[in-house]
A and B are shown apart, each in its own frame.
Chain A
Amino acid sequence: MELNPRVPEGPIAEKWSRRRFEMKLVNPANKRKYEVIVVGTGLAGASAAATMGELGYRVRAFTFHDSARRAHSIAAQGGINAAKNYQADGDSIQRLFKDTVKGGDFRSREANVYRLAELSLNIIDQAVAQGVPFAREYGGHLANRSFGGAQVSRTFYARGQTGQQLLLGAYQALERQVAAGTVKLHTRAEMLDVVVAGGRARGIVIRDLVSGKIEGVAADAVVLATGGYANAFFLSTNAKACNVTAIWRAHRRGAGFANPCFTQIHPTCIPLSGEYQSKLTLMSESLRNDGRIWVPKKKGDDRRPSEIPEEERDYYLERMYPSFGNLSPRDIASRRAKEMVDAGHGVGPLRNGVYLDFRDVIERAGRRTVSDRYENLFAMYEKITGEDPFEVPMRIYPAPHYTMGGLWVDYDLMTTIPGLFAIGEANFSDHGANRLGASALMQGLADGYFVAPLTVGNYLADAPRSGTGPDDGSFRAAVGEVEALQDRLLSVNGSRTVDSYHQELGRLMWDQCGMSRNEAGLREAVGRIPELREEFWKNVRVPGSAGTLNQSLEKAGRVADFLEFAEVICRDALARNESCGAHYREEHTTEDGEARRDDDNFAHAAVWEWRGSGTEPLRHTEPLDFAEVPLARRSYK
């Protein structure tokens, strides 16, 4: 597997302009001859499809939702970063770049991160022009707030619904192109394979989720914008339908999978309330701007929070990280919360949370101000727990959230399969081992509005026209494989439900490959997952038939993929003999319990190559160079 990152030469600040200048262009009259497939219509997919449609390509966009507006991007609450320096607090492209590289614990590709910081400015301009109702100051200017891992206020927000508003902006741009006839939108269509012919991506196989019909769709390039895979843990903050299928099946067709073990555990989720629970709910990180995190100093203290006097509270983040305090990066805040709970300081009925307390800010700024900032989050919390955060502190605990790993891509966001691109959370490129708050939306939109439309064009300008169609052998073979897999799932007719396997896998992953990992646990998981997979194929029960709307069948295919993929997550975690960002190996820590990186041996992206079911995958590496932000120990103290 060749891993050429194709990073342009020259000073980092000029790399993107240089690449844009070097790119081959497609004559406007020729653009309409090219068909481009975009899979997924979240922030990355909708913005990419809309922009490429506007540029003149014939675009076909696919989503398994009933509408392009439902993608999980919609649930992002807190905000989007941009180095606008509207607050004149010293922000700059350079600083956003540096914060992101450092926040990612030096495991991202510098050139990509710089471009992300650079494009952040254009994203805000674009969103405002589309009518995204960002928060405003009384003078009419855009408002900002600060977010975890940053000491400047560079986060733009729309109450606690920034993801929804940005997605609606991109969705409206997409619908505008649908009306204009440049984009054909296929809803309730799930991608189940990539078709590779002559060494290039030539199309996809989809299942119509209503009729059950399976068909091949040909194109000149394919862009995957299908999000992350944190649902490998079953309980996560991701929407229930988020899965790994699209990128996993691309991986099985030859796309390298990078850094799968980099799974971010978000510190501010509502703790689990019982066994039956299907997912965990995230409380926006923006709450950490004003909320103070604490636990009782005394173990097992079961007094009500208001009865615990100030001197008996441990504001542990403020104590341990005085300069960042409650805004410490996610990996650190998560680990410290786990330590507090593990040590017996947990709060709530199951003693599985820590307090996020708004008492002080309510006293200081008033209930009205706090309500303006966080009203919908407070209401959501109250619905779920039955407790009012104005009266009693919230309880929070970490949960699997964003996945920094994904398909390996070069600077042009192209995978190791020519013609197959991966953008947004589906790729691995920008966040290293840990993602800073408010930067997922930034990457989705930067990739979709500004990067992929140009780099896909550059590819098309040089690539031979497809000439293949759904009737060709490669398409028929891929369709046949998808049908066979589906028939196999339906014919097992065992005694356990799909969800029960997913739950069991999730528990195993959380215990052995969650917030902290060690060699023994990972070896156990690598042994156990194939057994579970085998049992699944012998004993799963998938009711119904293939030719109808069948949600059990949809889930079964995704869980089958998680059962293969989870093993690679654990192998990746096992091979990475260091701690970095979200990947915390218990064997590799400093004396004060912080992660200890090994830059001599692991300053690289690990890229896995599929070699068939039951065969150990191959690990390749792309060395990472830190010329602009010198390798240094992360310190937030």
Chain B
Amino acid sequence: MKLTLNVWRQAARGAAGDFERHEAGNISPDMSFLDMLDLVNEKITCGGGEPIAFEHDCREGICGSCGMMINGIPHGPNKLTTACQLHMRSFADGDELWVEPWRADAFPVLRDLVVDRTPFDRIIEAGGYISVRTGSAPEANATLVRKPDADKAFDAAACIGCGACVAACPNASAMLFTAAKAAHLSYLPQGQAERGSRALSMVTAHDEEGFGNCTNHGACQEACPKGISVRYIARLNRDLVRAVLSGVGMDQESSAGE
């Protein structure tokens, strides 16, 4: 196969960027999209240029490192598929492709297709955990979890933090990511004590990082390579309202001041 690629090139954060055109030949339909970019990069390097910077690691669809807009769609045209698991048999010989980084104010471009996703870590830092001491814990089977709850928690926990939801959202909102994390813990008995304060602090952090609001477009769910449902956003919103109405935030403030 032969393809024409238009790839976003940007030397550094804040630098001007533009599309660069590359002809990619000798493409096998069994190659992954990233194998194909490797091949293009070998050619660029041998020709004296600087290869296209992109993030990738496990190439098994689980680490969440890779991610790019391919023809305007996060991770490309296939449903439930990360860029590393997208294979060239999904394209036709002669296709012209546009490859861009995630675009969101909260995710500044660092170089070419590489963006800074640390705001996700700071949302977790704000409360996306259960406050248990490391190194001591009660016997595991002393906490029973209903199988349906464990399954729902797992469905939410399957988020790989790639950022496709943000890239797909017209508001660049990260509510699907935030909600998935909060929902994972909210379905488990261990997560109940901090459920309200967690919702409040994570959503506050989300807003402070500069992500937009959720206006129910649902584009995030469409783009999510792990099939995370927007229902979790509704669940997070309910938790949030309940927390605000029951004064969870105020309790926290007062106890923090003691």
Task: Identify the A interface with B (CB < 8 A).
Answer: 47, 50-51, 54-55, 65-70, 72, 74-75, 84, 86, 122, 124-131, 133-142, 158-159, 161, 163-165, 168, 171-173, 175-176, 178-179, 185, 187, 210, 239-241, 273-274, 276-279, 281-282, 379-380, 383-384, 386, 449-450, 453, 495, 497, 499-500, 541, 543-544, 548-549, 551-552
User: In the bound complex, do residue B89 and residue A386 qualify as a contact, i.e. CB atoms below 8 Å apart?
Assistant: yes
User: In the bound complex, do residue A161 and residue B158 qualify as a contact, i.e. CB atoms below 8 Å apart?
Assistant: yes
User: In the bound complex, do residue A140 and residue B147 qualify as a contact, i.e. CB atoms below 8 Å apart?
Assistant: yes
Tell me, yes or no, whether B257 is within 8 Å of chain A by CB: no
A163 to B64, CA, bound (A): 13
Also in contact, A241 and B57, with CB within 8 A (given A67-B118, A142-B140, A548-B11): yes
Residues of A within 8 A of B35 (CB): 276-278
Contacts A/B (CB < 8 Å), 25 sampled: A65-B65, A66-B65, A66-B117, A74-B58, A74-B62, A75-B58, A126-B135, A129-B143, A131-B129, A131-B153, A133-B184, A136-B146, A140-B144, A161-B158, A239-B57, A274-B28, A276-B35, A276-B39, A383-B87, A386-B30, A499-B42, A541-B45, A548-B11, A549-B110, A549-B114
Residues of B within 8 A of A72 (CB): 57-58, 63
User: In the bound complex, do residue B134 and residue A125 qualify as a contact, i.e. CB atoms below 8 Å apart?
Assistant: no
Q: Which of A55, A384, A551 has the most CB of B within 10 A?
A: A551
Chain B interfacial residues counted at CB < 8 A: 78
Determine how close the nearest CB of chain B comes to the CB of A209; give it in whole angstroms: 9
Q: Can you add 6 more A-B contacts, CB < 8 Å, to A126-B137, A175-B121, A276-B38? A: A159-B154, A176-B125, A273-B28, A274-B31, A380-B85, A549-B114
A383 to B110, CA, bound (A): 30
Tell me, yes or no, whether B101 is within 8 Å of chain A by CB: no
Partner of A164, one of B116, B120, B153, B160: B160
Also in contact, A279 and B64, with CB within 8 A (given A126-B135, A131-B185, A131-B190): no
A241 to B110, CA, bound (A): 19
Also in contact, A164 and B144, with CB within 8 A (given A72-B57, A134-B150, A278-B35): no
Determine how close the nearest CB of chain B comes to the CB of A423; give it in whole angstroms: 15
Residues of A within 8 A of B55 (CB): 66
Task: Identify the B interface with A (CB < 8 A).
Answer: 11-13, 28, 30-32, 34-35, 38-39, 42, 45-46, 48-51, 53, 55-65, 78, 80-81, 85, 87, 89, 110-111, 114, 116-118, 120-121, 124-135, 137-141, 143-147, 150, 153-154, 157-158, 160-161, 184-185, 188, 190-191
User: In the bound complex, do residue A141 and residue B141 qualify as a contact, i.e. CB atoms below 8 Å apart?
Assistant: yes
Which residue on A lies nearest to B159, using beta carbons?
A: A168
User: In the bound complex, do residue B141 and residue A172 qualify as a contact, i.e. CB atoms below 8 Å apart?
Assistant: no
Also in contact, A281 and B59, with CB within 8 A (given A136-B146, A171-B124): yes
Residues of B within 8 A of A69 (CB): 64, 121, 161
Residues of B within 8 A of A122 (CB): 137
Determine how close the nearest CB of chain B comes to the CB of A559; give it in whole angstroms: 14
Partner of B140, one of A128, A165, A543, A551: A128
A134 to B65, CA, bound (A): 24
Residues of B within 8 A of A497 (CB): 42, 45-46
Partner of B134, one of A50, A139, A544: A50
User: In the bound complex, do residue B64 and residue A449 qualify as a contact, i.e. CB atoms below 8 Å apart?
Assistant: no
A178 to B205, CA, bound (A): 15
